[in-house]
Amino acid sequence: MAPRSLGYRQVQQRMRRSLNYGTRRMRTLSLPLSELLVNYFDKYAPYDYLDMDFAASLARESCVDACTFLVAMVYVDRVRNVDKLYFETTDPEEVYLSALVVASKYLHDGGLEEFVYNDEWAASAGRSLKRVNELELQLLDLLSWDIKVDEVEFWRVLNEAERWVARETMLRQGFCTYNEAAVLSVDSKILLEILKSLLSIFATLTILYSAFAVSILLASRLMVCSLHSSNGSSSRATQSKHSLHQFGLFSSQVFDLGHFWIWFGEPATSTFESSNVHSESFLVKRQAWSFQEKEPLLSQLNRSSALVDTTNFFTCSFA
C-alpha cells in the first residue's frame, strides 16, 4: 500500500464527511456519488442514459474510490467540451468506463494494491478486454494524451460534487445539517437562491395575511354601517309614526305640506322645529292657540302670515 501523506488523509476526512460516506470504508463510491454520475449523463447526454446498476456494480467490484471517481469526472467533462458529438453519440457506460481506466492508471502505479488491470475492468463492466483497450485509446486520443489534473481542477470538481450532494440531501430530507449548511454557504449563488426562495415565501404570506386582515376589517365596517342604517331608518319611521299619532295628523295632510312645526313645552320657554315635506308650512300643537302664543311665533317667523285656528292643527300660509 502506498504511504498516505497528511494532506491526503485530510482530503479523505473531508470527503468522508461531505460526500456522505459516514463510517463506511472509502474503497468504493457512496450512493450520492453514483446518483451524481447518473444525473450528469442525464443532463448532458440527451440521447442515452447511464444505468444506475451499472455505475454501482462497477464501483463496487473494481473498488473505485472517491478520488479516482473525481479525476474520471474531469476526463468526462473534458471529452464533452472537446468533442460534443462523440460524447452525445457514444454509450455513456463506455465513456465512463474509459475515464475510470485512465484515472486509475494516473493515480495508482502498476503493482500497487489499488491498481486495477484492464482485464479486471473488462470483467467488472461486462466488456471484452479488446473493447476496453479500444475505449482507453479513444479517450487518450480525444484528450491529446493530456491526462494531467492539477490541484485547481481537482478542487473545482470536488466542490461541485460536495454542493450537489449537499443540495440533494437537503431536498430529500427536508432539512439540512450543519455539514450541508457549511457546504452550501460557501457558494454565494446557492445562498442567493435560498434567500430568494425565503423572501418569496415571506412576501406571499405577508400578502395573504394583509388581504385576510383587510377583508375582515371591511366586513366588520359593512356590518356596522348596515346596522346603523337599519337602526336609523327604523327609529325615523317610529318617530314619524309616533308624531303623526300623537298630534293626530294623517299622511295625506303631512306629505302635501312644506314645513312641519312642532311646539314643545310652555309658551314662554317653548321652541319649534321643522320637517321638510313638499309644499307650504304648518304648525302643530296639542291644544288651542292663544294670542300670547301666536305673537312670538309671528315675530320669530318675521313674515306676514295668517294662522287658521283649528282644534289641534294650525297652518301658516305665506304670501
Q: Which of 69-73, 111-115, 163-167, 255-259 has the lowest mean pLDDT?
A: 255-259
Residue 268 is placed in which grid cell? 314662554
Asked whether residue 100 falls in the same domain as residue 220, the answer is no
Indicate whether 67 and 143 sit together in one domain: yes
What range defines the domain where residue 61 resides? 6-184
82/216 same-domain check: no
Give the chain's mean pLDDT. Answer: 71
- Most confident of the ranges 8-22, 137-151, 174-188, 265-279: 137-151
Q: Do 147 and 259 share a domain, yes or no?
A: no
> Is the same domain home to 154 and 294?
no
- Domain match, 150 and 178 both: yes
pTM passes above 0.85: no
Mean pLDDT of 33-47: 86
Picking from 57, 52, 48, 21, the residue whose alpha carbon sits closest to that of residue 38 is 52
Sign for the pseudo-dihedral over CA of 234, 236, 241, 242: positive
78 within 8 A of 143, measured Cβ to Cβ: yes
Structural domain includes residue 96:
yes
* Residue where the block lists cell 471529452: 79
Considering the domain boundaries, does residue 33 fall inside one?
yes
63: in domain? yes
Instruction: Kindly state whether residues 90 and 151 are assigned to the same domain.
Output: yes
Whole-number Å distance between alpha carbons of 204 and 194 = 15
The tens digit of pLDDT for each residue in 103-126 reads: 988 888 766 777 788 888 888 888
Q: Does one domain contain both 123 and 258?
A: no
> Based on the structure, what is the number of domains in the chain?
3
Residue 49 pLDDT exceeds 90: no
In a domain, 245, yes or no: no
Is residue 246 one of the residues assigned to a domain?
no
Q: 132-145 pLDDT, tens per residue?
A: 999 999 999 999 89
Q: Is the pLDDT of residue 203 over 60?
A: yes
**H-type helices in the chain, by residue range?**
6-18, 31-44, 52-61, 66-82, 84-89, 92-107, 118-125, 129-142, 151-173, 178-186, 188-247, 251-254, 291-301
> Which of 285 and 109 is assigned the larger pLDDT?
109
Residues 166 and 17 in one domain: yes
Q: Tell me if 93 is assigned to some domain.
A: yes
Q: pLDDT-based confidence at 231, cuts 50/70/90?
A: low
Residues in contact with 304: Cβ distance below 8 Å, sequence separation at least 6, in sequence order: 318, 319
Per-residue model confidence (pLDDT) at position 288: 55
Q: Both 25 and 159 in a single domain?
A: yes
Same domain, 48 and 167: yes
Task: Enumerate residues 6+ apart whose C-beta is below 8 A from 90.
Answer: none
**How many CB atoms sit inside 10 A of residue 290's CB?**
10
Structure-model confidence comparison of residues 68 and 184, the more confident one: 68
Q: Check whether residue 203 and residue 299 sit in a common domain.
A: no
DSSP lists the bridge partners of residue 139 as none
Produce one character per residue of 23-46: b if its CB has 16 or more CB atoms within 10 Å, e if not. Answer: eeeeebbbebbbbbbbebbeeebe
